[in-house]
Amino acid sequence: MKSTRKFGPVVAALAAVLLTGGLAACGNSDTGGGSGTADDGKIVLGFSQVGAESGWRTANTTSVKDAAAEAGIELKFDDAQQKQENQIKAIRNYIQQKVDVIAFSPVVESGWDTVLKEAKDAGIPVILTDRAVDSADKSLYKTFLGSDFVKEGKLSGEWLVENKKSATAEVNIVELQGTTGSAPANDRKKGFAEAIAANPKLKIIASQSGDFTRAGGKQVMEQFLNSNPKIDVLFAHNDDMGLGALEAITAAGKVPGKDITIITIDAVKDGMKALADGKFNFIAECSPLLGPQLMDLAKKVHAGEEVPARIETEETTFTQEQAKEALPTRKY
Amino acid sequence: MSEWKSRFRALAGHRLFWPVVVLAVMLLANTVYRPGFLAVQMRDGHLYGSLVDILRLSAPLILVALGMTLVISTGGIDLSVGSVCAISGAVACLYISKQPDQDSLGAMFTALAMALGLALVLGAWNGVLVAVIGIQPIIATLILMVAGRGLAQLITEGQIITINADPYRAIGLGHFLTLPLAIFIALGAALLIAAITRRSALGMIIESVGGNAEASRLAGIRSGRITFLVYVVSAACAAVAGFMITANVSSADGNTAGLWIELDAILAVVIGGTSLAGGRFFLSGTILGALIIQTLTTSVYAMSISPQTALLFKAVVVIAVCLINAPAFRAKLVRRKPGLPPADVSGDQRKERVPA
């Protein structure tokens, strides 16, 4: 009796954990129905998502779901909640159900060889989306569809080189890096540095991690402003850090977009608004809307067509004028 | 001469002496690196500079750490404060974002009341798990730490809620008497908690529960009630910290608001001299601890230490601070030098029990 009284609330708490953390996992329930190749000739695509950790990711999920419905592809969706074992389990499920194509965004880069081999042995083609794996055997997956982070950094840098080509004095740049060690942070930093090397007047005078968050970006920018009397350019690895930095710049009595040129990456809605308002100067897009491209690829690999091993998400860049035009129709 | 020596020894024996020294050394190091570090200027009628930033940014941590001090004093621990920060911030921002007039004061107070109310419920939930059902505090609050993040995400629907409300912004960014409003809120909370615990027997009762809950109960103290109460207070402090964190950037991010603040708060409490085993607690020490942690973070940025080495740098400083704070360690250092008698450490080392 005593033990049940003790554990009752624990069970309730666990239930609460499952409920709150796992709502998205309800998508699991539709993996049960039907064997893979449905009689109606519909392609069945098993998709394992990383999780729902950001607005970007949510837009990514919505895009995949909408595109599948539009393309007439039967989607089996699974949310891995940032856990590799969940993802491996989901992929094994898809193999058992004999789906036609498997797609997933790997939570981490390593440890996929075994399960990918199983998929290959079962004759099911695999498409990676958004993030890559480090498997040495490239034949384990058909293609990798995702953003090129180096290119995003490079485009940002190239715009700055063009924008500051008439500068006579040195241009002081501060950089807000993403989470230390993450692929987007490393690659964007690299691409940007490569591009601005074209003009020796462009100098990065400070570079710190703002962890991809607004609060982080703001706090770091405050110190940049305190330590460096002359900052001409801010390059932030994502919109959110840039938005945080905006507040720090305003508080320091400077006008964002004028006194300090601001370049960011992502083009989420709040970032686009800031760009349209003239507070940002340039955004390189990192689009989560890869659903339509994924469905195209799924059809192609199912039909046995050859596809390139690396496909970049269709992305663009925005200036202030372009942002004003694009803003009303932005989906995320 | 010997009078000076004994005076210095009395001063060095004060439990706030070493934390103050550490803070001073850190500020000094920053000033050496960049002479303008301590400079404070007047801008638009309020003070502006690194020192003011440190004060403002440490306000949420001070609040959370104050609540944590009371919890730790009873021998417990509250891991859920970060999640409570995220939930309260999310609820407040969500409510304000739905208002036609975001600048209305009434809307802000309704939002704050709703969020604070929810936080009290969450605190009561922790309190019940620990005090009534008797689950170990670290496990009981771990439940809300994990589930609470999910709840915050659920409230924000995985998005970052951006608001444009000046009254709410003021909680994080407003000014009063040229200084950030946030620091006054934190100071007010500190004075309130100090007054309630130190001007009445409550503080001693909390310490006695932490010293020996069973003995306190036998002495006529309702230990369960006290334990329940400290978790509610901790959640309330976390809620206000959550308001500050979200107001600071005018947006609620369920994923990252208040992330890992519980660990910083525990560290602040420990630097402040309160034992994790429970017993006596030191509010002023906790505040100093929070200031030290924020100064450390700011130093990393101000001294442009690369992000890759920043974590290691912080770890080394924290270890140094903890060692300097430990009387046993200092005694060992002193004992090496001949001629000085070993410091008496027996009293500090043991868990400080209040006679039941």
Name all domains of chain A by residue range, CATH numbers in brackets. 24-147+288-314 (3.40.50.2300), 149-286 (3.40.50.2300)
Cross-chain residue pair B255–A54, CB shorter than 8 Å: yes
pLDDT of residue A175: 96
Best residue in A6, A11, A211, A219 for a mutation probing chain B (most B CBs within 10 Å): A219
Confirm if A73 and A298 have CB atoms less than 8 A apart.
yes
B74: left (phi over 0), alpha (psi -120 to 50) or beta: alpha
Q: How far is B60 from chain A (nearest CA, A)?
A: 12
Q: A279 contacts in B (CB within 8 Å)? A: none
Q: What beta strand segments (E) does chain B contain?
A: 41-43, 46-48, 160-162, 175-176, 179-180, 251-253
CA torsion angle B77 B78 B79 B81 (round to 10): -150
Which residue(s) pair with A45 in the sheet? A75, A101
Give the lowest-confidence range in A95-99, B51-55, B322-326: B322-326
pLDDT tens for B114-162 read 999 999 999 999 999 999 999 999 999 999 999 999 899 889 887 788 8
Confirm if B146 and A21 have CB atoms less than 8 A apart.
yes
Q: What beta strand segments (E) does chain A contain?
A: 44-49, 74-79, 101-104, 126-129, 143-146, 171-177, 202-209, 233-236, 261-266, 282-285, 310-312, 317-319
pLDDT of residue B239: 97
Cross-chain residue pair B298–A220, CB shorter than 8 Å: no
Helices (H), A72-104: 84-96
Q: A19 contacts in B (CB within 8 Å)? A: 150
Distances (CA, A) of A231 to A173, A264, B38: 6, 16, 20
pLDDT of residue A89: 93
Residue A206 CB partners (closer than 8 Å, separation 6+): A174, A175, A224, A227, A228, B304
Token code pair at residue A154: 């490079």
pLDDT of residue B235: 97
Q: A180 contacts in B (CB within 8 Å)? A: 307-308, 310-311
Residue A215 CB partners (closer than 8 Å, separation 6+): A244, B245, B248, B249, B253, B256, B257
Burial (CB < 10 A; 0-12, 13-18, 19+), residue A31, is middle
pLDDT band, residue B213 (cuts 50/70/90): confident
Q: Which of A6, A58, A223 sits opposite B133 (nearest CB)?
A: A6
CA B325 to chain centre: 18
Q: B37 contacts in A (CB within 8 Å)? A: 226
Distances (CA, A) of A105 to A29, A51, A72: 20, 9, 22
Cross-chain residue pair B307–A223, CB shorter than 8 Å: no
Q: What's at A308, amino acid-wise? A: P
Confirm if A130 and A290 have CB atoms less than 8 A apart.
yes
Q: Dihedral sign for Cα A58, A60, A63, A68, please.
A: negative
Q: Which of B44, B147, B250 sits opposite A13 (nearest CB)?
A: B147
Q: A252 contacts in B (CB within 8 Å)? A: 43, 48
* Max Cα-Cα span within chain A: 82
Q: What beta strand segments (E) does A164-281 contain?
A: 171-177, 202-209, 233-236, 261-266
pLDDT tens for A215-236 read 999 999 999 998 888 999 999 9
For residue B64, is pLDDT > 90?
yes
Q: Which residue from A minimizes the CA distance to B302?
A: A223
CB-based contact, B163 to chain A, within 8 Å: no
Number of residues that make up chain A: 332
Best residue in A18, A53, A54, A226 for a mutation probing chain B (most B CBs within 10 Å): A226
Question: Which residue is associated with the tokens 């709703």?
Answer: B114
Coil, strand or helix at A319: strand
Token code pair at residue B228: 């329940």
Which residue(s) pair with B48 in the sheet? B41
pLDDT of residue B336: 66
Distance CA B62, CA B183 (A): 9
Cross-chain residue pair A54–B151, CB shorter than 8 Å: no
Distance CA B27, CA B22 (A): 9
Q: A208 contacts in B (CB within 8 Å)? A: 300-301, 304, 307, 310
Coil, strand or helix at A284: strand
Token code pair at residue A30: 């539709």
How many CB pairs below 8 A link A and B? 119
CB-based contact, B162 to chain A, within 8 Å: yes
pLDDT tens for B68-86 read 999 999 999 999 999 999 9
Distances (CA, A) of A293 to A43, A54, A143, A265, A305: 15, 21, 12, 21, 15
CB-based contact, B45 to chain A, within 8 Å: no
Distance CA A223, CA A238 (A): 19
Confirm if A290 and A63 have CB atoms less than 8 A apart.
yes
pLDDT of residue B353: 52
Distances (CA, A) of B336 to A167, A187, B171, B330, B339: 62, 52, 51, 10, 9
ipTM over 0.90: no
Best residue in A20, A58, A177, A180 for a mutation probing chain B (most B CBs within 10 Å): A20
pLDDT of residue A161: 95
- Alpha-carbon Rg for chain A, nearest whole angstrom, is 23
CB-based contact, B308 to chain A, within 8 Å: yes
Confirm if A160 and A261 have CB atoms less than 8 A apart.
yes
Q: How far is B118 from chain A (nearest CA, A)?
A: 16
pLDDT band, residue B338 (cuts 50/70/90): low
Per-block mean pLDDT, blocks of 10 residues, chain A (332 long) = 46 48 39 45 90 77 92 91 87 94 88 92 93 85 92 95 91 92 88 95 93 91 91 95 94 93 92 94 92 93 90 90 87 72
Q: Which of A58, A208, A240 sits opposite B301 (nearest CB)?
A: A208
CA neighbours within 13 Å on the CB side: how many for B16?
9
Coil, strand or helix at B242: helix
Pairing relation of β-strands A261-266 and A282-285? parallel
Which residue(s) pair with A76 in the sheet? A46
Distance CA B181, CA B316 (A): 33
